[in-house]
C-alpha cells in the first residue's frame, strides 16, 4: 500500500509541523513597525546585557526587568495580550524532541569547546553565574531568566522574519536570514557573561540553532523553554550538589 505523502504548503520546510504557522508575518492587520518593535527591543536587551552602565544594578532586579519583563510586555503588546501566539498546548511528540535537543546541545557544546581549546588553542570560559551563590533564590531566578532568554530569541526571530517577509514575500529565505540574525545577536548578548567573542559566537550563538530549530518546527516556545531549562539545570545543579558535598565534608571535619 502506497504511503500518503504529507502535504507541505508552498514556502514551508518539509520538517515543519503541519497546520501551525508563525504568528504576525502574514497577518496584515499587524503593521510592519510591530516587527521593528520586536527586533528593536531585542537589540536593546542584547546591548543592556553588555553595557557597563546597566551592570552595577542589582542582578536579580536587572534580569527580571530587562531580560524577562521588557520582552514579555513587548510580545503581549504586539499579540494583543495573547501569549498563545508563541506558547501552545504540549504534545506527546514534544517529549522525544526535547530529549534530542538537550542531548545534541550538550554534545555540541562539549565538541565545540574541545575544538576551540585543543585545535585552535582558544581558552573557553565558564558562565560568570557559577561565581554566584547557587541557592533556592538563584534557581528561582534562573527559571524566570531562561523564559526571558527564550522570549528574547523568539521576539528577535519573529520581528526580523516579519520585516523580511513583508519586504521579499519569500517565506523560506526570510526564515533563514532571521534565524542567522537571531543566532548572531543572541550570541553577542552573552559577551559580558563569557568574555570571549569566538566562544559566544560559536557556542552560545551558533549552538542555539538546535533549540531554535525546535521552535521553528513546532512554533511552540514551551518546547524550547523546557529544553533550555534542562540544559542549564544540569551544570548548575551539579555545581550546587558539588558545593553541598564540600560543605557537608567541611562540617564533618569541623565537628
Q: Residue 247's pLDDT is what?
A: 43
Residue 65's pLDDT band (boundaries 50, 70, 90)?
confident
- What's the rounded Cα separation, in Å, for the pair 152 and 62? 15
Distances (CA, A) of 99 to 37, 138, 142, 153: 33, 25, 20, 20
Q: Residue 141's pLDDT is what?
A: 85
pTM: 0.87
Give CA angle at 20 (41, 209), nearest 5°.
Answer: 55
Q: Which residues, 6 or more positions from 234, have their beta carbon under 8 angstroms from its beta carbon? A: 106
Whether the predicted pLDDT of 2 surpasses 50: no
Whether the predicted pLDDT of 215 surpasses 70: yes
Q: Which of 74-78, 86-90, 162-166, 232-236 has the lowest mean pLDDT?
A: 232-236
Residue 109 Rama label (left phi>0; alpha psi -120 to 50; beta): alpha
Average pLDDT over residues 70-85: 96
Residue 202 contacts residue 43 (beta carbons within 8 Å): no
Q: Which of 137-146, 178-187, 214-223, 226-235 has the lowest mean pLDDT?
A: 137-146
Q: Which residues, 6 or more positions from 118, have their beta carbon under 8 angstroms from its beta carbon? A: none
Residue 189 contacts residue 41 (beta carbons within 8 Å): no
Q: Residue 48's pLDDT is what?
A: 87
- The two most distant CA atoms of the chain are separated, in Å, by 74
Q: Residue 253's pLDDT is what?
A: 31
Residue 208's pLDDT band (boundaries 50, 70, 90)?
very high
- What's the rounded Cα separation, in Å, for the pair 248 and 234? 21
Q: For 88-108, write each residue's pLDDT tens digit.
A: 999 999 999 999 999 999 999
Q: For 94-151, write each residue's pLDDT tens digit.
A: 999 999 999 999 999 999 999 999 988 888 877 656 555 667 877 888 899 899 999 9
Pairwise pLDDT comparison (249 vs 93), residue with the higher score: 93
Q: Measuring CA to CA, which residue among 131, 215, 229 is closest to residue 178?
A: 215
Residue 184 contacts residue 201 (beta carbons within 8 Å): yes
Q: Residue 254's pLDDT is what?
A: 29
Cell of 144: 524566570
Amino acid at each position: 500500500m502506497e504511503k500518503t505523502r504529507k502535504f507541505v504548503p508552498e514556502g514551508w520546510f518539509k520538517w515543519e509541523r503541519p497546520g501551525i504557522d508563525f504568528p504576525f508575518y502574514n497577518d496584515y492587520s499587524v503593521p510592519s513597525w510591530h516587527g521593528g518593535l520586536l527586533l528593536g527591543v531585542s537589540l536593546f536587551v542584547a546591548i543592556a546585557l553588555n553595557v557597563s552602565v546597566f551592570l552595577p544594578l542589582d542582578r536579580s532586579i536587572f534580569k527580571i526587568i530587562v531580560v524577562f519583563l521588557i520582552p514579555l510586555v513587548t510580545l503581549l503588546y504586539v499579540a494583543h495580550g495573547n501569549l498563545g501566539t508563541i506558547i501552545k498546548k504540549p504534545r506527546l511528540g514534544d517529549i522525544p524532541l526535547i530529549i534530542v535537543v538537550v542531548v545534541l546541545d550538550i554534545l555540541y557544546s562539549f565538541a565545540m569547546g574541545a575544538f576551540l581549546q585543543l585545535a585552535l588553542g582558544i581558552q573557553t570560559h565558564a558562565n560568570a553565574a557559577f561565581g554566584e551563590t547557587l541557592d533556592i533564590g538563584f534557581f528561582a531566578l534562573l527559571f524566570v531568566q531562561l523564559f526571558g532568554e527564550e522570549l528574547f530569541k523568539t521576539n528577535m526571530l519573529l520581528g526580523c522574519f516579519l520585516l523580511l517577509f513583508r519586504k521579499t514575500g519569500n517565506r523560506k529565505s526570510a526564515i533563514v536570514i532571521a534565524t542567522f540574525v537571531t543566532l548572531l545577536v543572541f550570541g553577542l548578548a552573552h559577551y559580558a557573561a563569557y568574555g570571549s567573542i569566538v566562544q559566544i559566537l560559536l557556542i552560545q550563538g551558533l549552538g542555539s540553532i538546535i533549540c531554535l530549530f525546535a521552535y521553528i518546527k513546532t512554533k511552540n516556545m514551551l518546547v524550547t523553554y523546557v529544553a533550555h531549562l534542562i540544559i542549564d539545570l544540569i551544570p548548575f545543579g551539579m555545581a550546587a550538589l558539588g558545593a553541598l558535598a564540600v560543605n557537608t565534608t567541611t562540617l564533618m571535619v569541623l565537628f
